[in-house]
Structure 1
Amino acid sequence: MNPKFEEMQNRLRHIGNLNNYIEQLIDKVPGNLISDKQRRKLVDAITDDDDLNALLEGLKNPRPPRFVLVGRTGVGKSSLINAMSGKYLAEVSDVEIGTKEARRFTYESDGQVYFEVIDTRGIGESETFDTKAEDELAGVIREFRPDALLFLQKATERAHIDKDVLVTKQLMEKTGGNLPLVAILTHIDELNPSRVKEPDRYPEDKLELIREKTGQLERIFSEHGLNATAVLPVSSYVEWHRESEVAANDDQDNPEIAFDGRKGIEELLDFLEDNLDVRAAIHLGLTLRLNRVATRIAERFIRIFSALSATVALSPIIASDIAMLLTLQSMLMMIIAYLSGRELEFKTARDLLVSLGGIGATGFTLRMVAQQGTKFANLIFPGAGSALSATIASGGTYAIGKAAVAYYLRGVPENQLKQVIKEAQKEFDAEQKTS
């Protein structure tokens, strides 16, 4: 197994151990900053946050994504899986699953499972695929508890799409209808001119044809009343070194990519990471895009801690939230640093926070004064200032988190971080206006 994968997995599990990790961080907060009562309230606020608990569960227990693949023979299901992983994965069949209309596989490499898949090879092709077979398959899928259904259609073909879409619609309805459904237009590299395989050299007429075929698939779904969560055109075209040797001998090492003609795969992975169960999304990031998983998890923590900051700021007691917000922002910075492989003491995090214009420093000083000023309105009109106060606290935490990601995970120099904070604050303000 990849040593970097193991190292990151250990870090994530450590963070995922909520009680120990959060208590460790809070124990590093100086006793003169927050009282024991405030410590308990902060722990309660964090442990009661549903989004944070879901994330922490995912960090402790990541699992391979589970997909149902719908598509006819030759549509490129295994090629898509290999293209997503960037590896020539072994297709390992599991035990019988009770229906001849599908088979269950794991896709593996070096003892690591990347995906669990039900391949509905019989769907749409078999004349014997009747209501009984449909019910049996629906039962198998429900038991499998997939994260998404991937509908694959070859870009160069038009026949049978209507039938396959209708069968998929019926299957979705029988399995609950709440799965993310991703319609994937495969083999876009074979559209004319098919000789051009390099994605960055696709001529405009080929790109226009890809757009037309994508729009056509969207219309067919719409005509049959089936809502696809996304419709994505992809090329899984990859040439592998020693591909024939590997096919003949399962003990061969994984071949390297000799020619990479993949297109749209990164967009597909982005969509899946954003829409899968958090445990599956984290596993997907760990196995396929290790260099990005820390940033994605940090972004989740930023959102969660920003929301917690807003909750703290709603306190009607004047100035009572200053220490709590400083603690939350410092903890967020310590978590992001830890994701990068570094451990910070609270004082180090606080000092960097202050240097960036955090609570109690220039830059956010006027914001904090404005925040506390709104509290005075509560003395006359209870609750009048809380909404503005919460927005400022949340925005400040959001900006600080973005700066920590830039510094610890992207290597942005410290002298550029104040500009990062300004841009993050603008981004947060724009989101507030549109929400």
Structure 2
Amino acid sequence: MVNPKFEEMQKRLSHIGNLNNYIEQLADKVPGNLISEKQRRKLIDAITDDEDLNALLEGLKNPRPPRFVLVGRTGVGKSSLINAMSGKYLAEVSDVEIGTKKARRFTYESDGQVYFEVIDTRGIGESETFDTKAEDELAGVIREFRPDALLFLQKATERAHIDKDVLVTKQLMEKTGGDLPLVAILTHIDELNPSRIKEPDRYPEEKLKLIGEKTGQLERIFSKYGLDATAILPVSSYIEWDREPGGPGDGGQENPEMAFDGRKGIEELLDFLEESLDVRAAIHLGLTVRLNRVATRIAERFIRIFSALSATVALSPIIASDIAVLLTLQSMLMMIIAYLSGRELEFKTARDLLVSLGGIGATGFTLRMVAQQGSKFANLVFPGAGSALSATIASGGTYAIGKAAVAYYLRGVPENELQQVVKDARKEFEEEQESQARIHADK
């Protein structure tokens, strides 16, 4: 049975995904005395032409299961990792004929919902010789599969074969074009000494030190062979499942519950994948695996996009033309985030909230807008001089507004605490801007 919360969130995301279909109606709700028809047209064009926004909207309308290629020796824990990522005992459904004995294609499913699509390479690295013909065939299958990432799995307790496995993986990456994200996953860290301790929050210092050493060892071997991993992440997929006799299959119940959860590093892996995958796959991953967090993750994407759009709007050299346009843009952002929480806002309500919520209250909001417009006057003397500052203020303000909306609508933070949320968000934004400036300066 499909989770009703899943269905409701999927419905909401699909609705937001059609934003471009009703963006004009949304803009038409803006009072005529707030922005001119010319400004309204330019705002619509800026929103509908944004590539990042269009990619996100496409992902919301058409999410799909993530596609992974799993590389690792027998017993490295491939299915255990997939189950640990989903938090469910998934059915491993095969066999799609893919024309090579070097791999099998699976879907991992539960209650009729596909969580992952996987190609599991078989025996790669385990044979004594490198069969060029077979590996070429495998590379062709992988290219046709169009995976989101290649997951290289290596047991933390493994001492031999690591060099060969890394070398074979490098050859496979080269044969598939070399542009696949490669995520190295150090599995079975729970088996490092003392192996009797499985509770992640009880790992002693000696075990944590061993995990660090094993991770460093894998990093050095990757570097030795000139193989770039997008990330190297140590994990434990250790779960004890509560099985009842008399069920289907191997004697266990169809959907066993966790009797013991010894997972470690899985949240970090999921965070990394959600940031790195194709947006359609990332949204599906959030919907199926972390439903309670998917709204916040998607809201964060909208905040980034609308902050960038605010900077674009603010770069207009026309003095005082963008206050109302920014207010409109920020109101739209708040309407989207409210809808992600299951609430619908009218434009007027969103606008009123912008000038009333805690730290985005009327005084602070007005002062920031005055400061922003003041910077525009520099353009009269030094053309273009005020625009960069104005764009930064507009973008930072939108970022803070978005963060406050997430706190208020999705996390239930009370109004009297929003001022601190805004202060923290603006500080976070400024630090990020300074970090980016240093990176550009170093280049």
Structure-2-length-normalised TM-score: 0.95
SS at match of 2:364: coil
Q: CA deviation at 1:128?
A: 5.6
Aligned counterpart, 1:188: 189
CA distance in 2, matches of 1:402, 1:139: 44
Q: How does 1:35-434 map onto structure 2 within 5 Å?
A: 35-127=36-128, 129-242=130-243, 248=249, 252-356=253-357, 361-434=362-435
CA distance in 2, matches of 1:326, 1:15: 20
SS at match of 1:227: coil
CA distance in 2, matches of 1:21, 1:253: 43
Q: CA deviation at 1:249?
A: 5.2
Q: CA deviation at 1:49?
A: 0.5
CA distance in 1, matches of 2:22, 2:364: 31
Q: Compared with structure 1, are the counterparts of its residues 222 and 243 closer, same or farther at alpha carbon in structure 2 (3 Å cutoff)?
A: farther
Question: 1:152·1:183 contact (CA, 8 Å) conserved in 2?
Answer: yes
Q: Compared with structure 1, are the counterparts of its residues 295 and 250 closer, same or farther at alpha carbon in structure 2 (3 Å cutoff)?
A: farther
Cα deviation 1:320-366 (Å, max 9, x = unaligned): 00110000011000000000000001111111100137889211322
SS at match of 1:118: strand
Equivalent AA in structure 2 for residue 356 of structure 1: L
Q: Compared with structure 1, are the counterparts of its residues 133 and 250 closer, same or farther at alpha carbon in structure 2 (3 Å cutoff)?
A: farther
Q: CA deviation at 1:129?
A: 4.2
Which range is displaced more, 335-344 or 247-256?
A: 247-256
Question: 2:150·2:183 contact (CA, 8 Å) conserved in 1?
Answer: yes
Which range is displaced more, 14-23 or 404-413?
A: 14-23
CA distance in 2, matches of 1:20, 1:250: 51
CA distance in 2, matches of 1:317, 1:308: 17
Which range is displaced more, 279-288 or 206-215?
A: 206-215
Cα deviation 1:89-136 (Å, max 9, x = unaligned): 000013210110000000000000000000001211134641111110
Q: CA deviation at 1:177?
A: 0.9
Question: 2:360·2:401 contact (CA, 8 Å) conserved in 1?
Answer: no
- Structure 1 residue runs of 5 or longer lacking an equivalent are none
SS at match of 1:88: coil
SS at match of 2:416: helix
Equivalent AA in structure 2 for residue 254 of structure 1: N
Q: Compared with structure 1, are the counterparts of its residues 363 and 203 closer, same or farther at alpha carbon in structure 2 (3 Å cutoff)?
A: same
Cα deviation 1:205-251 (Å, max 9, x = unaligned): 11111111111111111111111111111111101011776573599
Question: 2:243·2:252 contact (CA, 8 Å) conserved in 1?
Answer: no
SS at match of 2:259: strand
Equivalent AA in structure 1 for residue 318 of structure 2: I
SS at match of 1:4: helix
Equivalent AA in structure 1 for residue 375 of structure 2: T
Equivalent AA in structure 2 for residue 64 of structure 1: P
Which range is displaced more, 377-386 or 88-97?
A: 377-386
SS at match of 1:45: helix
**RMSD value, Cα:** 1.6
CA distance in 2, matches of 1:227, 1:343: 46
CA distance in 1, matches of 2:298, 2:22: 16
Question: 1:14·1:21 contact (CA, 8 Å) conserved in 2?
Answer: no
Structure-1-length-normalised TM-score: 0.97
Cα deviation 1:286-323 (Å, max 9, x = unaligned): 00000111001100100110111111111111110011
Cα deviation 1:241-297 (Å, max 9, x = unaligned): 117765735994300000111111101100100100000000000000001110011
Cα deviation 1:118-163 (Å, max 9, x = unaligned): 0001211134641111110000000000000000011111111111
SS at match of 1:104: strand
Count of aligned residue pairs for this structure pair? 435
CA distance in 2, matches of 1:334, 1:318: 27
Question: 2:359·2:418 contact (CA, 8 Å) conserved in 1?
Answer: no
CA distance in 2, matches of 1:337, 1:156: 48
CA distance in 2, matches of 1:112, 1:38: 45
